[in-house]
Amino acid sequence: MTEGGGPFVRPYRPQDREAVYDVCVRTADAGGDARGIYRNPDLMGDLFAGPYLWLEPRLAFVLDDGGRAAGYAIGTADTAAFAGAFRREWLPRVTGGYPRARRPATPDEWMTELLYTPERMVLPELAGHPAHLHIDILPEHQRAGHGRALMCTLLDALRREGAGHVHLGMLTVNTGARRFYDRLGFRELAVPDAGPLTYLGRSTDTGSA
Ligand SMILES: CC(C)(COP(=O)(O)OP(=O)(O)OC[C@H]1O[C@@H](n2cnc3c(N)ncnc32)[C@H](O)[C@@H]1OP(=O)(O)O)[C@@H](O)C(=O)NCCC(=O)NCCS
């Protein structure tokens, strides 16, 4: 991490929350901008960013481009424990804003259903990769090495928390992200009935990054 001019990686601070939510929705459509897809502008953040910032702030890092978070890497060292804390501690904080539909039929309703089912994250095929993560960077800072820097910082932190292996779930159509993960040594994990998702995993040992 350096602060010598360009964007740099640093630990998350609570003041970054709004910017992290903004990055989240701007990259949530298979890597592209999801604003306009979801009626509730906070839904993507409340689903894919907020619970990590709230429950695992020590495992949250941002790309600082001059005071603003323009990217982030967030995760948990223990997905099963995280799913439990998500239900107990995160859901009560946000569900007031998200009525659950009996028959989900809109993009908001489908995603809201994910919010109410955190146990979906716990899959037997991923048990050997107990940590998981999310990483997103605004378009103007992509392809400049910051993703690699954010990833290495988070992998080191996950390793310090005791996780030897990490997984992630990505939309299979996000081919750009897949090339990034391939370059960083992630390999496909077989998960039956994964729907639109591909699961990838690797060691948290950055000596082999
Ligand atoms: C995916 C993402 C995090 C990668 O971060 P990045 O800063 O763009 O990637 P880096 O510049 O650090 O690239 C690291 C390596 O991956 C390669 N890479 C990254 N994106 C690539 C792409 N779209 N196509 C081909 N290779 C790519 C780079 O060439 C580089 O390889 P090298 O080290 O051998 O030169 C970032 O592009 C992003 O946020 N995209 C939109 C959101 C997204 O899709 N997130 C993932 C959701 S699962």
Condensed to tens digits (0 to 9), the pLDDT of residues 62-111 reads 999 998 999 999 999 999 999 999 999 999 999 889 999 999 999 999 99
pTM above 0.95, yes or no: yes
What is the token pair recorded at 23? 């990055």
How many residues in the chain?
A: 209
**Cα separation, 28 vs 49, whole angstroms:** 11
pLDDT above 60 for 208 = no
Show the CA angle centred on residue 174, arms to residues 188 and 55, nearest 5°: 75
Position in ligand 1 atom list of the atom nearest CA 138: 39
**Cα separation, 84 vs 18, whole angstroms:** 25
- The closest residue, in CA terms, to atom 15 on ligand 1 is 180
What is the token pair recorded at 103? 């028959």
CA of 137 to the centre of ligand 1 (A): 9
pLDDT at 3: 52
Around ligand 1, the residues with Cβ closer than 6 Å are 27, 31, 135-137, 142-148, 170, 174, 176-177, 179-180, 183
pLDDT at 5: 81
pLDDT above 60 for 187 = yes
Confidence of residue 209 (pLDDT cuts 50, 70, 90): very low
> Residue 33, SS3?
coil
H helices of the chain, where? 17-26, 43-48, 50-55, 79-85, 91-94, 107-115, 146-160, 175-183
Question: What mean pLDDT do residues 168-185 have?
Answer: 98
Domains, the chain, with CATH or none: 8-163 (3.40.630.30)
